[in-house]
Amino acid sequence: MARVKNDLVGNNNNSLSTGINGTGIPALKSLLATEAIRKQMKSLLGDKAGHFMMAIVGVVEGTPQLQDCEPQSIINSAIASATLDLPIEKNLGYAYIVPYKDKAQFQMGYKGYIQLALRSGQYKYINSIEIKEGELENYNLLTGEFNFKFIEDINQRLEAKTIGYASYIEFTNGFRNTLYMTKEQVLAHAEKYSQSYGTDLKKGYSNSNWSKNFDSMALKTVLKLNLSKFGALSVSVQKALQIDGSSIKSISEEGTINIEYVDNTNEENKIIGDIELATTEDKLELLRQADLIKFNLKKKASELKIDFDALTKKDLRILENIIDVETDKRMED
């Protein structure tokens, strides 16, 4: 599994140096034909590498704005999608390569998040939908429960006004959560976290993905926030949350992904910053502290449904606090 490294310092050096300059389809095809790229594609995708490279060309041919982007950034975004085992064809809606100025961005689709979550085997249901006018009956502030009464006639529902967006997750162990945002809240979220959408609103453009595919981006937003706050985060979901909306600066042969945020200032990812994985050193130090007081840390983590092998920074802090409490108890005894 490739690792993610947040590298926000300007650096145009790629791990795989090719010496090919320029933009457009010819430059992209030339870069794809280099031994370094073909080798990396082959190691990631095996016999599917040829088809995937053809898909990259097809996406760029179908998106004229991408033809002005650096070919390496396009290929890096595609490889990032390949590490998640998601197709990049736009019509499938799992993952996208989108242009922003002269760089390509990797963007998850809401169907991609659903696919990655289902692979973990921990979800019974996961979905996000538009909420139509009259469907939201009430909301309990204390329990956080929403009650919806959906329009049964499909055609009537399609024609009804959209007032918001909701996502629903339910685990196989029975835990469930609904996250709802009004359309106004989603609009504010998009304007705050996407510079290109803000520019569209100010200048009357329709260039950003939010302008072109507002409903799909809204469905992804409510699902992404629900997963990051309440979901069971597999390694692949964590990685998707981290690289979503970024320009992939480079992917080393060892699998380290270096990213930068070109359409935002990484503020949105601070919302989900706790999903960053703890380092091996963090985990070893935690185990050392637990061993000093003869505390079975992995058993406790299992009781809390924390995956120690895919330990996040947030869960790391939880376990550190538990060890501190256990240490204090033993000192008192």
pLDDT in tens, 5-63: 433 333 344 444 445 678 899 999 999 999 989 998 998 889 999 999 999 999 999 99
Residues of the chain falling short of pLDDT 70: 1-20, 253-255, 265-277, 333
Residue 223 is part of which domain span? 123-231
CA atoms of 106 and 118, how far apart (whole Å): 21
Question: What pLDDT, on the 0 to 100 scale, is given for residue 10?
Answer: 34
Query: Quick one: 101 and 249 in the same domain?
Result: yes
Sign (positive or negative) of CA dihedral 23, 29, 35, 41: positive
pLDDT value, residue 43: 87
197 vs 212: CA distance, rounded Å: 10
The reply to whether 67 falls in a domain is yes
- Measured distance CA(77)–CA(92) in Å, rounded: 16
Report the length, in residues, of the chain: 333
Contact by Cβ (8 Å): 168, 144: no
Contacts of 130 by beta carbon, 8 Å cutoff, 6+ apart? 162, 164, 165, 215, 218, 219
Euclidean distance between CA atoms 83 and 93, whole angstroms: 17
Q: For residue 44, tell me if it sits in a domain.
A: yes
Query: Could you give the residue ranges of the DSSP H alpha helices within the chain?
Result: 25-32, 35-45, 49-61, 71-83, 110-119, 154-159, 183-193, 195-203, 209-212, 214-230, 235-243, 267-271, 280-292, 297-303, 313-332
Share of the chain above pLDDT 70, in %: 89
Check whether residue 153 and residue 88 sit in a common domain.
Answer: no
Question: What is residue 62's predicted lDDT score, i.e. its pLDDT?
Answer: 95
Cβ pair 91, 215 in contact under 8 A: no
pLDDT at 13: 40
Residues 227 and 129 in one domain: yes
Decide if 248 contacts 259 (C-beta within 8 A). Answer: yes
**Is 78 in contact with 31 (CB distance < 8 Å)?**
no
Q: What is the pLDDT of residue 17?
A: 43
Give this prediction's pTM.
Answer: 0.75
User: Same domain for 158 and 253?
Assistant: no
Residue 159 forms part of a structural domain: yes
- In tens, the pLDDT along 70-100 reads 999 999 999 999 999 999 999 999 999 999 9
pLDDT in the model for residue 276: 57
Contact 16, 48 (CB under 8 A): no
Query: Do 173 and 253 lie in a common domain?
Result: no
Pair (7, 82) in one structural domain: yes
Contact present, 240 and 95 (Cβ < 8 Å): no
Whether residues 101 and 248 fall in one domain:
yes
Q: How many domains does the chain have?
A: 3
- How far are the Cα atoms of 13, 26, 50, 323 from residue 249, in angstroms, in the given order? 8, 21, 23, 38
- 210 plus 256 within the same structural domain: no
